[in-house]
Structure formats: C-alpha cells, structure tokens
Chains A and B, each alone.
Chain A
Amino acid sequence: MAAGKPVVMVTLVSSDGQSFQLLEEAALLSAMVRDTIQIGQGRGPAGIPIRNITGQTLSMVVVYCNKHYTAAAAADGDDAADEEKKVANKKQLREWDEQFINLEQDKLYDILVAANNLGIDGLVDLCCWRFADMMKGKSASEIRVKLGIRDDFTSEQRAQIEKDSPWVWSRTT
C-alpha cells in the first residue's frame, strides 16, 4: 500500500441488519460492490445493503475478501523477480483457501450463492472446487442422498437414460 493513500472504508449490511466494515479495496473484489461504487453510491454511512445474504454468511465472505486483498497487496510489494517467493506465497494462499472452504454443505451452499450474487469470481471458483470434490467418485443416488435432491425423472426419461447409458447399470443410480 502506498504511504499517504487515504484509507477508505466501506460498510456492507446483511439482510438481517448486521454491518461489516472493510477496506473499500478489499470490498472491490465483488463486482456488485464495484458497480455500486462506480455509480456513486455506497460510500455513505448507510453502507451497501446486501440482499438475501445473512450476517453469518456475509462475515465469511468479508474474511475471504480481507485475506485476498492483503495477500495481493503484499505480493505487489514483493520483489517481482523473486519467483520462488511468489510460488510459495501462492501455495500458502491456496492452503488457506482450502482450509477456509472446508465447510459443511449448507454453509458451502450459502457462500456459493453469496459469492455468485456478489460477483466474487475467486470465491465462486473455490466453492465450485470444493463442491466438485464432494461429488467425485459418487453415484447419482449417493449425491441425491447427500444433498437432499429429489429424483425427478419421469419413467420415460429413466428408460432413455437406460438406453443411452448402458454403463449405468453396473453402478447404482
């Protein structure tokens, strides 16, 4: 961070009325926040209302933004030629990410939807990675049970799947 640069804070307000203050630069990881500030809103004391996202979820999102903003700012200050350090820092951040997203599925879902609505690409990717990891190697029925998804195929569709996917019957679907 350049010295003398004014510190601008921004406030995000969750759907249940909790306020979170963070550096504007960290909040700008969200495309939705970017758009709001670009049209000259959101800097006032009322902050930016974040609809559909509860304080519990938003607090996690703020932690993510702060961490990634800090890591990016630190990387800017580093010697650009020091490849080894860059790789090490990147690895460290990835480890932090994986730890951060190691959540039970309901929380993961909430953060995924929040990150998607707020337009935080890195966090969407991270949630998707974790979600994919949960589904790897699982049959359709195992996934349905785990995530509480209803089997909504019609009998015609089931017959079609049987026809199109002969391999399916060596496993449980």
Chain B
Amino acid sequence: MSLSPRPRLPSTAMAEDGGERRDWADMPSDALAAVFGMLDVSDLLTGAGLVCRAWRQLAATYSTLWRRVDMSHQADLMENEEAEAMARTAVDRAAGTMEAFWADSFVTDGLLLYLSVRASSLKSLQLSLCFNVSNEGMAEAMKGFPQLEELDITFCSLYGDVCQSIGKACPQLKCFRLNDRWTFQMDYGASDGMDDDTEALGIANNMPELRELQLIGNNITNDGLISILDHCQHLESVDIRQCYNIQMDDALKSKCARIKNLKLPHDSISDFKYRAYIVSSVAYSGSDLELDLFDDLDVVTDDDDADFNDTDDFNETGSDGAMYDDEFDV
C-alpha cells in the first residue's frame, strides 16, 4: 500500500478484490473523539489510542478525553506500577483540565502529589481501597485541589486529623464520603476508646459547605453527629449506616429532622457499591482482613444487584446489627 495522502472526508473506496473498503483510520475526527470519549483510560492507553498515527495523535492531544478519568476497578486487570504510570500519563494529557479522578488500590502518595501539582481544577476525587495513601500524603496533596467539590474515600486507611486538613484545603467541598468497615476497626480490639469523634469534629469545624455526607462504619458518637448537624447548615443528605455508636434518641431525631435524605445505622447497605467487602468480612469473622480484601476484588456493580438479593433480604430483617454484636463480643 502506498503512502498517498488521504482524502479529508471519509469515503468508501474499491479494494483490490473489488469489494468496498471502509477506511476506519480516516473516520471523522469529531466522531472518533466521541468514540474515544466512551472508552476507559486503559483502552485509550493500550488499545485504541495506539492503533495508528491519526488515532494516537487524537488520544494524545485532545485533552477533553482526559477531563474525567475513571480508573476504579482496574486492580485486578493490571499491575499497580502499570496503573500508576497510566494515571500519570492521563494527568499529563489532561494538561491541567482534569475535573474528576477516580481510582482504586494502586494509588500512592506519590501519585496523589503528582496529581496535586498538575490538576488544580479537580472537582471530584474518589479513592477506594487505597492502603498506600497515608494521612500525611493525603493532607499534603489536598492543598492542590482548592476547587474540589466531591471527595470519596472508601476503605482506605485514612482517618483522624485528615478530615481537618481536607476541610481547610478544600473550602468548596459539598460532598464528602469517608467509608470504613465497622468490623475492621473492631479488629483492634480496644473496646474503650472506640468512640471517636476526631473525624466528626474535623468535618463539623472545617466543611461548612457540605450538602452530602456519608460516613459508613465510622466510630462517630451522638455528640459528634450533633456537632456536624450544628455546623454544616447546608446538609441535605446524611448516611451513617453501620455507625453503631450512634443511638437514635429523641434529641438526635429532632436534630436530624431537617435532613431530607437520612440513612441510619441499621439501614440496609444493599445500595452501597462496596457492600460485598462488608458482607465478606462478616463471613470471615474479621480474621485475616488483608487477605480477605484482596481475595475479593470483585467490586459490586449495579448490574450485579440480583446476585445480592439474598444478602439484602437478610439485612432488611434488621438482624445484621445484632449479628455484628454477636461476632465481636468485646
């Protein structure tokens, strides 16, 4: 085949065998951009984006493709180093326009800091199962995201003062999720000192613009929650499922009356994306949690709902809380 210049508009030409030949490489670039926009980061970086010169050019230079980067659920598909290298490339290609970065286990302090100095326009950050991110790394990185509006930290080892650092760095934060596994904390065994409002107070005192708060499996007490409700006046949605230190007494009920969307400690977790991790931790009696976590990297997607019907039914009987109490009689 010769290297003759291609016509600007796509066309069907006659191939050698007489049949019509479609030149996919010459697709209209706006249509190709729309196709690329529907592909994952890993697809763009390993597949479609490396097919030919024209496609590579588009993937490398069209920064809109990298505005929302979703690298969650990649952990079982590639090595952590690979995933991190891809994430860095995505950050580079976004050229300062990245608005959302969602990722799971492979994230490190180093990657967060890389993002922090190159993506100051970030509005949404979601981290799940990131055990390699430290409280200090997180606090430092957050300083680079002054426009952040949504932060989701699910099953990472981030706790305590980090809420204060986050709040101070991100004054526009409207949605904050800090989800943990109740059983995970029980594993440390100290029955005293399990009440802990450090995170609650960090939220109450530093996140005045919050609309939505999710604290699944937190050690928060009634005092902590009341403090949040008093300070975060715009709150519309509060989710404290599996926060078993909370006692929904009359005082707390009346405080919560203004919250439009309220989920209580013993409510079903059937709509929680990472519920499989919670369910499995019960099955394993909380032992060897590290192994358990990595064995079970099947994140529950919306499509899988049917598979979990049994579990849901079980939760809806209201007996899940009792079960936790029995398993961890401390």
Contacts and interface: CB of A to CB of B under 8 A. Distances in A.
Interface stretch (B46-54, B208-216, B313-321): B46-54
B252 to A, nearest CB: 33
A82 to B, nearest CB: 24
Given A106-B20, A170-B82, A128 B38 contact: yes
A113 B10 CA distance: 7
Given A109-B22, A112-B27, A116-B28, A170 B78 contact: yes
A127 B31 contact: yes
B79 interface: yes
A148 B43 contact: no
**Which of B12, B47, B79 is the most central at the interface, judged by chain A CB atoms within 10 Å of its CB?**
B47
Contact of B34 (A106, A128, A144): A128
A142 B47 contact: yes
Nearest to B38: A132
Contacts of A129: 38
B31 A116 contact: yes
Nearest to B21: A148
Given A131-B35, A142-B47, A157-B53, A167 B22 contact: no
A147 B10 CA distance: 14
A152 B28 contact: no
Contacts, number: 108
Nearest to A150: B1
B85 A173 contact: no
A151 interface: yes
B43 A124 contact: no
Contacts of B40: 136
Contacts of A113: 10, 27-28
B12 A137 contact: no
A109 B46 contact: no
A132 B50 contact: no
**Which of B11, B25, B52, B86 is the most central at the interface, judged by chain A CB atoms within 10 Å of its CB?**
B52
Contacts of A143: 47-48, 51
Nearest to B39: A132
Interface residues of A, number: 42
Contacts of A170: 78-79, 82
A84 B282 CA distance: 37
A132 B35 contact: yes
B51 A161 contact: no
Contacts of A168: 46, 50
A144 B52 contact: yes
Given A143-B47, A165-B89, A167-B78, A112 B31 contact: yes
Interface string A110-151: 101100100000001101110111011111101110011111
A116 B33 CA distance: 13
Contact of A135 (B11, B20, B22, B48): B48
Contacts of B85: 165-167
A171 to B, nearest CB: 6
A167 B36 CA distance: 19
A164 interface: yes
B214 to A, nearest CB: 26
Contacts of B89: 164-165
A170 B35 CA distance: 25
Interface in B17-67: 20-22, 24-25, 27-28, 30-31, 34-40, 43, 45-53, 56
Contacts of B21: 148
A151 B22 contact: no
A159 to B, nearest CB: 13
Contact of B47 (A135, A149, A153): A135
Contact of B51 (A106, A136, A144): A144
A147 to B, nearest CB: 4
Contacts of A164: 89
A113 B30 CA distance: 11
Given A147-B24, A167-B85, A140 B31 contact: no
A135 B78 contact: no
B50 A161 contact: yes
Given A124-B34, A128-B31, A167-B45, 12 more contacts: A105-B22, A128-B34, A136-B43, A139-B47, A144-B51, A147-B24, A148-B21, A152-B3, A153-B52, A161-B56, A166-B82, A167-B86
Sort A-B residue pairs by CB-CB distance and give the 6 closest, nearest first. Answer: A132-B38, A140-B50, A147-B24, A167-B82, A128-B34, A109-B22
8 contacts: A112-B27, A113-B27, A133-B38, A140-B46, A140-B50, A151-B52, A152-B53, A171-B46
